[in-house]
Amino acid sequence: MDLETLLSYEWGIMTPEFIILGVATALSLMDLFMPKSQSRKILGWVGFAGILAALVSLLGLIGHGPESILFDTFRLDSFAKAFKLLLLIGSAMVLLIAIGYEPNEGLEEFRGEFFYLFMAALLGAMIMSSSGDLITLFVGLELLSISSYILAGMRKRNLHSNESAMKYVINGSIATAITLFGMSYVYGLTGTTNLKEMSGFLTSIYNEQHIYLLGLAFFMIVVGLSFKLAAAPFHMWAPDVYQGAPTPVTAFLSVVSKTAGFIIVIRILFSIFANAPSGDVQGLPMILALQDYIAFLAGATMITGNLIALRQRNIKRLFAYSSIAQAGYLLVVIASMSLFMFDTLWFYLGAYLFMNLGAFAIIQHVTHKSGSEDISQFAGLYRRAPFLAIAMAIFLLSLAGIPGTAGFIGKLNIFMGALVPNEGHYVLVSIMIATTVVSYFYYFGVMVQMFFRPAADTGKVKIPAALTAVIGTSLAATILFGIVPNIAFDFLQGNFNQFTDFFQ
């Protein structure tokens, strides 16, 4: 590749990624050269400003038509734009939570790493959402994963944090290996790593053995990625990792990393398998023929997540299972494959981002002072800090899908998508609704603590500004999208045109 071709690319579409990369580099250098005594919090604010700048540049690109550069490895389509928006907003809020993070044993000397690793992880996730090639997808995935492994172990003198990092590395690597193995079959069949070329090639395979091989690849990829999504039965790592990791990292894993997981699932499954034949008599495409397996995964995830959450006393473990359950709801969207799929997924991930990050900001604040993460720490919160208690209640109600909140509209959307196809997914919808009712038990359990139980400690709670910003934004968004969801839907319709350019 000569310089001329290099310059002929429209690099402008990568501006958000460049900004994040630049800020991450700058942060690591600043951390290196800043005197030890100086507080690293300033780095957090720089990172935050960087994300905002990337957000602005992304908004500037929204009107930009679909475009791909670097031999179609990097593409900017509606899907990439819409989901990058979620990743950036999510990361900005996680960064604010991290700025307000004060663990007992102190984090001062590592705080700098904390921030630039977040930026690196975010960069990985963004690359994934824009990938048009298995190689870039995989590089993005690894960048995200490896940064997350380090982040999970950031409390270096805390036993749980170390355990968490260790478990995450081992489980994550195995999952990655399985995914990669699956990808290698597809590569072997098609001789290319480019998603578009693959999909074109795969429409014309007729050999029974090849189709069988492709099916095998499908399963391996799905299994590997299920680890990332923490979908049952591959969810075992999540509770331990979520519990041990520093709270901002838990928040990051449960929201940004999960969003990235769904991004890669959509990219791979719907690019590679959407046009491949399944070999059955009706000539269904492979993705439809294997729909039931995703449905099974969704059902199992919802049931496992919600049922095990009932027994949790540790709030972070509780939220780990809750986020497993939420991943199950999101898998229902993928399993139903309706014409609303992208909209629904985007809206629910957005709603989930706000409600979950808001809840994590409060969890961090309530648990870090006492050092205990038992849900009894929430006892009497309404007495001590009415605003926090009411905000938390609204996040929990939204997670439980109660009307008036964004979570409800998201669920409504999911149900609709699942029931629209001619053979509606009744079983899946029934499981989803029934497990939602089960989830009332544990979400309301936290509320019972906050509102009914007397407080052990009657001291007033003072909230740092960064956390207030996160809680306030999340609260506003959760209620706003619950009452006038059309703001979001109009935005989707107006700017992303039904995501039709995903398949082009």
Pick the closer one to another protein by CB: 177 or 437. Answer: 437
Q: Which is nearer to another protein, 192 or 495 (CB)?
A: 495
Residue closer to another protein by CB (options 22, 404) is: 404
Considering the complex, what minimum distance in angstroms separates the CB of residue 489 from another protein?
Answer: 6
CB of 23 closer than 8 Å to CB of 50 = yes
- Quickly count helices (H) and strands (E) in the chain: 22, 2
**Tokens found for residue 141:** 């995935």
> Concatenated DSSP letters for 166-196?
HHHHHHHHHHHHHHHHHHHHHHHHHS--BHH
Query: Hey, CA dihedral for 434, 435, 436, 440, is it positive or negative?
Result: positive
CB of 416 to another protein, least distance (A): 5
d(CA 333, CA 96): 30
Q: Residue 372 or 497: which CB sits closer to another protein?
A: 497
Structure tokens at 21: 């990369």
With beta carbons less than 8 A apart as the criterion, state whether 175 and 148 touch: no
Nearer to another protein, 5 or 498 (CB): 498
Q: CA-CA-CA-CA torsion for 224, 230, 233, 237, nearest 10 degrees?
A: 100
Q: How far apart are CA 437 and CA 285, in angstroms?
A: 35
Q: In angstroms, what is the minimal distance from the CB of 493 to another protein?
A: 6
Give me the least distance between CB of 287 and another protein, in Å please. 20
- Give the length of the chain: 504
- Minimum Å gap between C-beta 177 and another protein is 39
CB of 271 to another protein, least distance (A): 22
Residue with smaller CB distance to another protein, 293 or 489: 489
- Residue 476, C-beta contacts closer than 8 angstroms, at least 6 positions apart: none
- Residue with smaller CB distance to another protein, 296 or 444: 444
- Of 169 and 414, CB closest to another protein: 414
At residue 22, what is the residue type?
A: G
Instruction: Give the separation between CA 495 and CA 318, rounded to whole angstroms.
Output: 37
CB of 403 to another protein, least distance (A): 4
DSSP 412-478: HHHHHHHHSSSS--HHHHHHHHHHHHHHHHHHHHHHHHHHHSPPS--------HHHHHHHHHHHHHH
Residue 174 C-beta: closest distance to another protein, Å: 37
Nearer to another protein, 108 or 490 (CB): 490
Classify burial at 456, counting beta carbons within 10 Å of its beta carbon; exposed 0-12, middle 13-18, buried 19 or more: exposed
The answer to whether the CB of 98 falls within 8 A of the CB of 110 is no
CA dist 21 to 72, 85, 97, 425, 472, Å? 21, 17, 21, 43, 29
Q: How many CA atoms lie within 13 A of 291 on its CB side?
A: 18
Name 492's Cβ contacts closer than 8 Å, sequence gap at least 6. 82, 343, 346, 347
Nearer to another protein, 200 or 403 (CB): 403
H or E segment to which residue 337 belongs: none
Q: How far is CA 433 from the centre of its chain?
A: 22
The least CB distance from residue 348 to another protein, in Å, is: 13
Binding residues (CB under 8 A) for another protein: these are: 339-340, 343, 382, 397, 402-404, 408-409, 412-413, 415-416, 418-422, 424, 426, 429-430, 433-434, 436-437, 440-441, 444, 448, 451-452, 484-486, 489-490, 493, 498
CB of 429 to another protein, least distance (A): 6
Residue 74 or 499: the one with the smaller Cβ distance to another protein is 499
- The smaller minimum CB distance to another protein, of residues 237 and 499, is found at 499
Q: From the CB of 419, what's the least distance to another protein, in Å?
A: 4
* Least distance CB 420 / another protein (angstroms): 5
Min dist. Cβ of residue 327 to another protein (A): 20
Beta carbon nearer to another protein, 70 or 288: 288
Query: What one-letter code names the amino acid at 269?
Result: L
Q: Is the peptide bond before 233 cis (omega within 30 degrees of 0)?
A: yes
